[in-house]
Amino acid sequence: MTKLDHLRNRDAVLRMSEAEAEERASVVDPDDERMIINMGPQHPSTHGVLRVTMELQGETVLRSKPVIGYLHTGMEKTAEDLTYLQGPTNVTRMDYASPLFTELTFSLAVEALLEIEIPDRATWIRMLMCELNRMSSHLLFLATNGMDLGAVGMMIYGWREREEVLRFFEKVTGLRMNHNYIRPGGVAADLPDGWREDVQSILKVLPERLEQFDVLMTGQPIWRERTQGIGVITTEEALALGATGPILRSTGYAWDLRRAMPYLAYDEVDFDIVVGTYGDTFDRYAIRLNEIRESMRIVEQCLELIPEGPYRAEDRKVTPPPRARIDESMEALIHHFKIFTEGFKVPPGEVYTAVESPRGELGCYLVSDGGPKPQRMHIRAPSFVNLQTLPHMMHGGLLADAIAVISSIDPIMGEVDR
C-alpha cells in the first residue's frame, strides 16, 4: 500500500471544521505564519460556486479542501419522480457544458434494462452529436482556462468557436443547451435538412482557429511558464483518487472508455487517445486542445459512415408514434396517450452504464422496480470525483497557481452538486 501511504503522508487535505479554523485564527502565535483563507464560492475563477478553503504559508498553499454543495438541487431525488421519458430533461441539466453525454448515459441505462436495440442511425447520430459536444465543451474549457490564466482574448475566441457548434445544436435539437435530444429508444428527431453542410462548415473553420490557439497559447513562453510543472499528479495518485478523463490521461495513462470499453459505434471509427507525459496543467490543457482535433476526425467519419434508416426504435411501447399515425390509428393514439401520461414500464433490475464524457467517466446507476419511474437513479459525475485531486495538485504550489489548477480540472458545478 505504498501509493496510499504516499497520498496520506502528504497531508494535502484540510480536514478542519469552520469552528476549529476560527479558533485557530483567534490564537496569536508570532512563529506560526500559516493562515486559512477562503476562495469562493463567488470567485470568478472557480467556474461557478466552488469554494476552496486553503491553508497558506506566505504564498504557498499547504492544505486545502474543496467545499461543495452550493448548487445541490436534489436532481437524483427529482429523477425518482419523473418517468423514463422525462428523465433526460432532468439529467441534461447536470453537466450543462456537455449535456448530451448525461442524456446518453441515462438512455443507455434505460435501454439496457429494457433490452431493446436501437437503430444504427440513432447510434451514429448520438455519436456525431456527442463528439460535437465534446468539441464545444473543450472549447469552453479553452476559453475559461485562457481567461483564468490571463489570456483574456481566449475568452472571446473560445466562446466564439463554441457558439458555432451550439448554433448547429440549436438547429438540430431546438435548444443551445439542455437539449433533451438523446432519449431512451433513440433520439428525439432526425437530423434536419442541410445538416451535412453545417457540420462541414464547422469542420472547415475550426482547424485554422485551433492553430491560432496554438500560436496564442501553446507556444507562448508566458503560457508555458504558468502551466508547465504546475499541479502535477501521477498515474498512481490519479487512479487511487478515482480521477478519470483528461486528468488521468495527462499522467500518460491511455485510459479512454471509448477505446477500453467501446459503446455506441466507437469500435468502428478511427481515432487516437491523446495522452500527456508529466500530469501537469499544461498537459491537461494540451490534451483537451488535441482532443478537439480527434473529435473532428470522428465527426468526419460519422459524416461518411452514418447510415440511413429510422432514428429511434420502432417499439411503440417505448417511443411515441409519428404524429400523422395518431389521426389514422386507434392503437397509435393509445400508445401515444400511454407514453405521455403514465410512461412506459421498465422491467425490474439494476444496471450501471458509463460513457467517456469530456471530463471523464460519466456513469448512470439505475434501479427499476418495474414501474414507469426509476426507483433510484444515480449519476456518477466525473467532476465530483475529479475534484478530490485538487488538494493534492495544489499542495506546495503558489496561490496564483491554484487558479490554474482549478481551471485545469475543468469542474462543472452543476454536475458536482447535482
Alpha helices in 56-119 (DSSP H): 75-79, 87-91, 99-114
> What track of x and - describes contact with another protein for positions 127 through 166 (by CB under 8 A)?
----------------------------------------
Q: Report yes or no: 194 and 249 within 8 Å, Cβ to Cβ.
A: no
> What track of x and - describes contact with another protein for positions 232 through 271 (by CB under 8 A)?
-------xxxxxx--------x-x----xx----------
Least separation in angstroms between CB 116 and another protein: 12
- The residue behind cell 471544521 is 17
Nearer to another protein, 77 or 160 (CB): 77
Nearer to another protein, 78 or 329 (CB): 78
Q: What is d(CA 313, CA 319) in angstroms, rounded to the nearest whole number?
A: 7
Q: Is 318 in the site for another protein (CB under 8 A)?
A: no
**Stretch touching another protein by CB under 8 A, among 215-223, 273-281, 382-390, 394-402:** 382-390
Q: What is d(CA 123, CA 108) in angstroms, rounded to the nearest whole number?
A: 11
Task: Say how many C-beta atoms besides its own lie within 10 A of residue 28's C-beta.
Answer: 6
Q: What is d(CA 95, CA 356) in angstroms, rounded to the nearest whole number?
A: 13
**Stretch touching another protein by CB under 8 A, among 70-78, 116-124, 138-146, 160-168:** 70-78
Angle, vertex CA 219, rays to CA 213 and CA 221, nearest 5:
125
Q: Which of residues 283-312 bind another protein (CB under 8 A)?
A: none
Q: Is 42 exposed, middle or buried (0-12, 13-18, 19+ CB in 10 A)?
A: exposed
Out of 17, 26, 194, 322, point to the residue binding another protein (CB under 8 A): 17
Nearer to another protein, 58 or 69 (CB): 69
Helices (H) and strands (E) in the chain, counts: 19, 8
Nearer to another protein, 301 or 353 (CB): 353
- Grid cell digits, residue 35: 493562515
Q: In the complex, which residues of this chain contact another protein (CB under 8 A)?
A: 4, 7-8, 13, 15, 17, 68-69, 72, 74, 76-77, 81, 112-113, 115, 239-244, 253, 255, 260-261, 348-352, 354, 361, 363, 365, 367, 369-370, 375-376, 378, 380, 384-385, 387-388, 417-418
